Amino acid sequence: MRYLPIDKAVFIENRRRLAGALQPNSIAVFNSNDLMPTSADGNHSFIQQTDLFYLSGIDQEDSCLVICPDAKEEKHREVLFLRETNDQIALWEGQKYTKKEATAVAGIKTVYWNQEFDSIFRQLAFQSDHIYLNTNEHLRAPAAVETRDARFLKWCREAYPLHSYKRLAPIMHHLRAVKSPAEIELIKKAGRITGKTFRRLLGFIKPGVWEFEIEAEIYHEFLRSRSRGPAFETIVASGVDSCTLHYIRNNKQCRDGDLCLIDFGAEYANYAADVTRTVPVSGTFSERQKAVYNAVLTVQKAAINLLVPGKTLEDYHREVGGIMETELIGLRLLDPEQVKQQSKADPLYKKYFPHGTSHHLGLDVHDYGDKYRPFEAGMVLTCEPGIYIRDENIGIRIENDILITADGPVDLTADIPREAQEIEDLMNQ
């Protein structure tokens, strides 16, 4: 892997916490992601299923983790199943994990090759009353492609129809929402790579540059910093497309007078940063652009201070909406009298700020987290207010990654320039 080794104690502790959440006499199964095909004999780059990585650190396709805390034989309480490597595979694809290497990464002593799965799992299933299976229960998850976990669920229920079946997703969503110190350091590392990249962009962006050239600079700095690449599809949106929330075409030329909104984040060891900055292509904001920019920055600074234990995501966003209303009135985009009479269910600020303020961040960019669960110390959330005025070609979003602590919010991306004057100074050096 490109990233530096992670202490296996992280994964050992994660498995201990999972085992403690299972009912007695249970077995839990986690499958890797598939290698996704392109066409002919091609494949996309492999990205690991994040629950499996969280519990094992194993970053390879055709992998499976079985946890059976009450197994009769101690060696079968944690078991890894891997694709058996050989000289032919090593020649064509490169070295895969040996059993010894997998143990060193995961801290799991018992490692079998995949062809032994059926017989070992049969023994453990017959010792267990409950089988916990994994499904993707993210509210916005697409379901167009059948995952390895989904295929295993069908097979398992047919092979073992009389067992009690349980869901792993609620447990994983609860565990992963609060980050360990080691996880926070990995997110910070992804943020530092992203910050270094942004400083590079400030010396590169100018009239005539193409959006995809900016994206290429991002890829270059990410890759040379031990990142696999972007943690999500990079947005480089200039001109009117700065008002398109998920613009990923990145195929226009940046013009003098345009704003350029860049929503990007490095991946490091499968952990994500997620940062947005908006810059003037010419190197200097117009008076109107700067007024809108400073309004967004004012909202963001206030919103960060509200990220404290005890709030729910819905309550938090409602409070931020009130702050945004004040700024939009100051920009003459909202009429104060109309605001007084607005519908609470459909506030007027949503015309210019149509998305949420925050989402959980971690192994997934939109990481696990129940919107009804109050914030807790150790959670990491983005803070990303924006104002989008399409008829003025002004779209501005500012996004930082925030750690919630008992002593107040900590900005993990605080060193990434965001003041309008600092951005102008760096662009005009």
The catalytic residue among 173, 176, 317, 359 is 359
Residue 90 near residue 101 (C-beta atoms within 8 A):
no
**Exposed/middle/buried for 152, CB within 10 Å: 0-12, 13-18, 19+?**
middle
Q: Tell me if residue 199 is catalytic.
A: no
**Exposed/middle/buried for 427, CB within 10 Å: 0-12, 13-18, 19+?**
buried
Which domains are present in the chain?
Answer: 9-177 (3.40.350.10), 181-427 (3.90.230.10)
Residues of the chain with pLDDT under 50: none
Residue 296 near residue 385 (C-beta atoms within 8 A):
yes
Q: Tell me if residue 41 is catalytic.
A: yes
Q: Tell me if residue 355 is catalytic.
A: yes
The values of phi and psi at residue 389, to 5°, are: -120, 90
Side chain identity, residue 375: F
Q: Tell me if residue 263 is catalytic.
A: yes
Q: Tell me if residue 397 is catalytic.
A: yes
The catalytic residue among 122, 246, 249, 288 is 246
The catalytic residue among 226, 355, 373, 390 is 355
The catalytic residue among 215, 217, 267, 274 is 274
Q: Tell me if residue 367 is catalytic.
A: no
The catalytic residue among 112, 271, 349, 388 is 388
Q: Tell me if residue 173 is catalytic.
A: no
Q: What per-residue confidence (pLDDT) applies to 71?
A: 98
Question: Which residue, among 177, 178, 194, 260, has the nearest Cα to 414 in the 3D structure?
Answer: 194
Q: What per-residue confidence (pLDDT) applies to 144?
A: 79
Please name the residues in contact with 135: beta carbons below 8 A apart, sequence gap of 6 or more: 149, 150, 153, 167, 168, 169
Quick check: helix, strand or coil at residue 402? Answer: strand
Quick check: helix, strand or coil at residue 66? Answer: strand
The catalytic residue among 130, 163, 366, 390 is 366
DSSP output for 210-223: BHHHHHHHHHHHHH
Please name the residues in contact with 170: beta carbons below 8 A apart, sequence gap of 6 or more: 137
**How many angstroms separate the CA atoms of 263 and 395, rounded?**
12
Q: Tell me if residue 384 is catalytic.
A: yes
169-177 helix and 9-21 helix, angle to the nearest 10 degrees: 130
Alpha-carbon distance values, 223 to 112, 231, 321, 335 (Å): 33, 12, 37, 48
Q: What per-residue confidence (pLDDT) applies to 92?
A: 82
Quick check: helix, strand or coil at residue 60? Answer: coil
**How many angstroms separate the CA atoms of 265 and 222, rounded?**
9
The catalytic residue among 34, 384, 401, 424 is 384
Q: What is the pTM of this model?
A: 0.96
Residue 179 near residue 145 (C-beta atoms within 8 A):
no
The catalytic residue among 41, 87, 287, 391 is 41
**How many angstroms separate the CA atoms of 294 and 404, rounded?**
24
Residue 69 near residue 77 (C-beta atoms within 8 A):
yes
Q: Tell me if residue 399 is catalytic.
A: yes
Write out the two tokens for 343.
Answer: 């519908």
What would you report as the CA-atom Rg of the chain, rounded to the nearest whole angstrom? Answer: 24
DSSP output for 12-39: HHHHHHHHHHSPSSEEEEEEPPP--B-S
**How many angstroms separate the CA atoms of 176 and 352, rounded?**
33
Q: What per-residue confidence (pLDDT) applies to 85?
A: 83
The catalytic residue among 77, 83, 277, 397 is 397
Write out the two tokens for 85.
Answer: 């490597």
Reported as a single tens digit per residue, the pLDDT across 109-146 is: 999 999 999 999 999 999 999 999 999 988 777 777 89
181-202 helix and 420-427 helix, angle to the nearest 10 degrees: 50
**How many angstroms separate the CA atoms of 244 and 409, rounded?**
29
Q: What per-residue confidence (pLDDT) applies to 265?
A: 98
